[in-house]
Amino acid sequence: MVKVMLGGPMKSMAGGESEFEIEADNIQQLLSRLGDRCPRLKPVLDKGVAVSIDGQIYRGAWFQPIPPGSEVYILPPLAGG
């Protein structure tokens, strides 16, 4: 299980919940299971988000492993260059 935290507008799309415990081996599984649990959040997750695992930010790394017990933050898409 990993602890997943949401902030900002994603929190309101998740019915006001900001923390979840989800069983996932990688980022793709995590986003899929979070979308199943919070259907209103699914379009945002499908569009693209950044994922922070224990302080390291990943974008598009769908098969990045998530160690058990990790702290994961789901962040809005990051802009910039």
How far apart (Å, rounded) are the C-alpha atoms in residues 79 and 29? Answer: 24
0.85 exceeded by the pTM?
A: yes
Q: Which residues pair with 9 in a beta bridge?
A: none
Mean pLDDT of 34-62: 92
d(C-alpha 81, C-alpha 67), whole Å: 29
- Entry field: residues in the chain: 81
pLDDT in tens, 9-30: 888 889 889 999 999 999 999 9
CATH of domain 2-75: 3.10.20.30
- Distance, CA of 13 to CA of 63 (rounded, Å): 25
Give the pLDDT confidence of 47-59 residue by residue, as tens digits.
889 999 999 999 8
